[in-house]
A and B are shown apart, each in its own frame.
Chain A
């Protein structure tokens, strides 16, 4: 079909004169859209009151402030599974479809992502209309989750190929978009729900339909704009360093071969530990600041604190990945683990019983969250340094399983430690110290894994480089 052939990799090869500065906006169009996933929680409360409002009207404010007042309404715990399924399918699809992406190129992958992510909303709208929760699990969770996974990895290797001089900055920019997606998604969802709300309808179904359409169109901008560089292309005035850096390979490794290298698994540990530790503070940021500074921080101020952390999480993605272009990826992760461990250790000491300094606690948390985001954004360039550009997107996809594991382990670890401490009579404010000290331990594990990373052995190198791809691999 002519339309589908437009999506082929051959048709996406850039003509001479194409500016590489069009590629980051294309990548951002995808990542800003799929980053909406982090804002899905804004739908939880309205979905929780769906039947109640339809039956009695009056909107959310007219309802009593208890969970699921109507027995047939969906429970918070059941609704929580929608996001969890989506994140699991993000990791799985990134791992499974990575190799396919490298074969078909970014344009077809971005299109597949747009179709999946957009349809996820449409199927979910049906789920709301017929009050079938499984349709939301299947729509937003499974189909939307697949869109998330393919979309997340789709621009990574293309950006690295367009910016061989600044791979960290280029991928950091896109991954910063994923962090920024929630910033657009949350107010957009709230505004649309407010617009469509009537006495007997919370407007969720219409909001899903409109958001599906908006995100599909936005992602199609990425599909139409993205290009891959021609074979042998390099930035004007840029020369391949005659003496490559010790940790940067000039060779490429196939995704299956990379999967069997110790380097892959060491980086898997590095990412998993960094993310688990970050989630540790992200999960409990609001109650933690209120407990550490009891009586001085209101719930509203705590919400402001969480918002501030989101800004640092997003900004850190660009800042640290750009810095890594100059200081090297390994050194950047050393900073994350060493500085991170010190800051996690100090954080509980800033409370009322210690230094009693809110600005210090906020500052420490902000730096920690910037390094959490930086860990996500710097890892594609780290993979490129170790495994080359040939299948870096596919390798990145498989590495994202570390995120899925951390997404489950982080909150479980935090909640179990706190529960254990609570049952043993430890005051709430002190229980945070234990959690943060455990996080210090995780960061030390990550530090040791990073320390063990060495260049990939030559037996793993792809032997017939240059013949595999029509577009640039250097």
Chain B
């Protein structure tokens, strides 16, 4: 016998995930931008200029 049960369309599931996923991805991207600062080189101490010959 054929199954006539109406299944949830995949597009609807995808939309539901996008609804929560997009703002989340935006938040993660913002945080990742901040986390990058950890990998930036610290400001170097003032190096005395090389004496000119």
Query: Which chain A residues have a beta carbon within 8 Å of chain B's beta carbons?
Result: 15-19, 21-22, 25-26, 28-29, 32, 177, 180, 182-187, 221, 225, 295-298, 300-305, 307-308, 310-311, 362
**B50 at interface, CB cutoff 8 A:** no
**Pick from B20, B31, B37: contact of A300, CB under 8 Å:** B37
**Residues on the B chain within 8 Å of A25, using CB:** 16-17, 19-20
Assembly CA distance A302 to B35 (angstroms): 9
4 nearest A-B residue pairs (beta carbon): A183-B27, A304-B37, A304-B38, A19-B8
Residues 1-32 of B at the A interface (beta carbon under 8 Å): 5-8, 12-13, 16-17, 19-20, 23-24, 26-28, 30-32
> In the bound complex, what is the Cα–Cα distance between A122 and B33 (angstroms)?
31
- Complex: A264 Cα to B13 Cα, angstroms: 36
Measured between beta carbons, the chain B residues less than 8 angstroms from A183 are 24, 27-28, 30-31
What does DSSP make chain B's interface, helix, strand, loop or mixed? helix
Q: How far is A297 from B12 in the complex, measured between Cα atoms in Å? A: 47
Q: Which of B31, B42, B43 contacts A307 (CB 8 A)?
A: B31
Known pairs A17-B6, A17-B7, A304-B36; A187 contacts B30 (CB<8 A): yes
Residues of B within 8 A of A28 (CB): 20, 24
Q: A180-B27, A187-B27, A311-B32 are in contact. Are A304 and B20 (CB under 8 A)?
A: no
Question: Are A304 and B42 neighbours in the complex by a CB distance under 8 Å?
Answer: no
Asked if B34 CB lies within 8 Å of chain A CBs, one says: yes
Q: List 17 A-B contacts (CB under 8 A).
A: A17-B8, A32-B23, A180-B24, A182-B27, A183-B27, A183-B28, A184-B24, A184-B27, A186-B30, A187-B26, A225-B16, A295-B42, A297-B42, A304-B35, A308-B38, A311-B32, A362-B38
B16, B20, B34 — most chain A CB neighbours (10 Å): B20
The contact of A311 among B5, B23, B31, by CB within 8 Å, is B31
Using CB atoms, name the residue of chain B closest to A16: B5
Contacts of B32 in A (CB 8 A): 307, 311
Interface size class of B (residues with CB under 8 A): 20 to 34
A307 touches B34 (CB 8 A): yes
Residue contact A307 to B27, C-beta cutoff 8 Å: no
A384 CA to B1 CA in the complex, in Å? 38
State whether B24 touches A308 (Cβ < 8 A): no
How would you classify the secondary structure of chain A's contact residues: helix, strand, loop or mixed? helix
Q: Closest A-chain residue to B26, C-beta based?
A: A184
A residues in contact with B17, CB < 8 Å = 21, 25
Question: What is the CB-to-nearest-CB distance from A176 to chain B, in angstroms, rounded to a whole number?
Answer: 9
Give the Cβ gap from B32 to chain A, nearest Cβ, in Å: 7
Smallest Cβ distance from B24 to chain A, in angstroms?
5
Quick check: A301 and B34 within 8 Å, CB to CB?
no
Contact, CB under 8 Å: A177 / B20 = yes
Q: Does B7 contact A22, Cβ atoms closer than 8 Å?
A: no
Kindly provide the distance from the CB of B31 to the nearest chain A CB, expressed in whole angstroms. Answer: 5
Q: Residues of A contacting B34 with CB < 8 Å?
A: 303-304, 307
The chain B residue sitting closest to A39, CB to CB, is B27
B9, closest chain A residue (CB)? A19
- In the complex, the chain A residue whose C-beta lies closest to that of B39 is A304
Task: Please determine whether A18 and B8 come into contact, CB atoms closer than 8 angstroms.
Answer: yes
Of A18, A19, A303, A311, the contact of B37 (CB 8 Å cutoff): A303
Which A-chain residue is minimally distant from B40 (CB atoms)?
A: A301
Q: Which residues of B contact A308 (CB under 8 A)?
A: 35, 38
Cβ–Cβ contact B20 & A21, under 8 A? no
Contact indicator B30/A22 (Cβ below 8 Å): no
**Complex interface: chain B residues within 8 A of A29 (CB):** 19-20
Least distance between B40 CB and chain A CB atoms (Å): 6
Residues of B within 8 A of A295 (CB): 42
- Whether A311 and B19, one on each chain, are in contact in the complex, defined by CB atoms closer than 8 angstroms, is no
Hey, which chain B residues are within 8 Å of A180, CB to CB? 24, 27-28
